[in-house]
């Protein structure tokens, strides 16, 4: 099998859901290649993509690393698969540490990223009041996460985890709205994440990807 065939294909675009997965690949070191989908031109609603992801969304992976092609959607399911393929990098192995990392990961997914996605939808529907309220809720959740890093280097203790990936992508998307002066430790954590090579490569994964 050629190297290109063994690597996992990540189909996506420069969106938070896709960037989280790209950072997951970079941090685990699992071989992958990106294929860009042009959302503005509706490529995600074309038959080729719908055959892989009937919801017409990104990201989707095609994993041929274990033989037959296995297609998977949902960014968080993909991240769980990466954890399964390379255990101990994205989530700690110890039950207690793992539970804390999952708690914080889902905090960012449901309390910060969820409202932000809903705000995006409302904004596009012309509901400025509703979208502003949800954006504010998302920023408040990020700001409140300062307590997670008050005495720790990472969002879930002493080790980098999915919680940092989720926190970083949403903090990067809302960074203009965060009151950094009120959250100095959060700002330090953010700076450290920006410097992390795997995070930098993941954030740039769709900058040069070919379609
Ligand atoms: N819950 C899904 C959400 C996927 C999703 O909404 N992706 C967006 C980009 S971040 C998308 O494909 N939008 C295009 C559309 O909805 O038309 C996941 O986590 O993967």
140: domain CATH number is 1.20.1050.10
* Residue ranges of E strands in the chain: 8-12, 32-36, 60-63, 70-73
Residue 142 CB-half CA count within 13 A: 33
Q: Which atom of ligand 1 is nearest to the CA of 74?
A: 20
Which tens digits make up the pLDDT trace of 153-194?
A: 999 999 999 999 999 999 999 999 999 999 999 999 999 999
The answer to whether residue 47 sits within a structural domain is yes
pTM for this predicted structure: 0.95
Q: Are 78 and 30 in contact (CB under 8 A)?
A: no
Closest listed residue to residue 144, CA positions, set 118, 106, 172, 183: 183
**151 alpha carbon – ligand 1 mean position (Å):** 34
Q: Are 107 and 145 in contact (CB under 8 A)?
A: yes
The answer to whether residue 84 sits within a structural domain is yes
Which tens digits make up the pLDDT trace of 100-158?
A: 999 999 999 999 999 999 999 999 999 999 999 999 999 999 999 999 999 999 999 99
The answer to whether residue 127 sits within a structural domain is yes
The answer to whether residue 211 sits within a structural domain is no
**84 alpha carbon – ligand 1 mean position (Å):** 23
Atom 20 (ligand 1): residue with closest C-alpha?
Answer: 74
Q: Are 81 and 66 in contact (CB under 8 A)?
A: no
Which tens digits make up the pLDDT trace of 50-85?
A: 999 999 999 999 999 888 999 999 999 999 999 999
**59 alpha carbon – ligand 1 mean position (Å):** 7
Q: Are 4 and 187 in contact (CB under 8 A)?
A: no
Q: Is the pLDDT of residue 4 over 80?
A: no
């Amino acid at each position: 099998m050629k190297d290109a065939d063994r690597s996992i294909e990540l189909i996506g675009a420069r969106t938070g859901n896709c960037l989280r997965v790209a950072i997951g690949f970079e941090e685990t070191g699992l071989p992958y290649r990106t294929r860009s989908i042009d959302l503005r031109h509706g490529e995600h609603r074309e038959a080729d993509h719908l055959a892989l992801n009937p919801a017409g969304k990104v990201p989707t992976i095609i994993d041929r690393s274990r033989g037959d092609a296995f297609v998977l959607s949902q960014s968080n399911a993909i991240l769980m698969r990466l954890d399964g393929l390379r255990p101990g990098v994205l989530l700690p192995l110890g039950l207690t540490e793992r539970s804390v990392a999952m708690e914080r990961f889902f905090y960012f997914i449901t309390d910060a990223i969820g409202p932000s996605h809903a705000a995006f939808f409302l904004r596009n529907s012309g509901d400025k009041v509703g979208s502003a309220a949800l954006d504010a809720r998302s920023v408040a959740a990020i700001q409140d996460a300062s307590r997670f890093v008050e005495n720790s280097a990472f969002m879930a203790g002493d080790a980098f985890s999915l919680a940092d990936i989720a926190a970083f992508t949403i903090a990067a998307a809302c960074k203009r709205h965060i009151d950094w002066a009120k959250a100095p430790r959060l700002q330090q954590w953010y700076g450290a994440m920006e410097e992390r090579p795997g995070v930098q490569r993941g954030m740039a994964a769709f900058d040069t990807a070919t379609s």
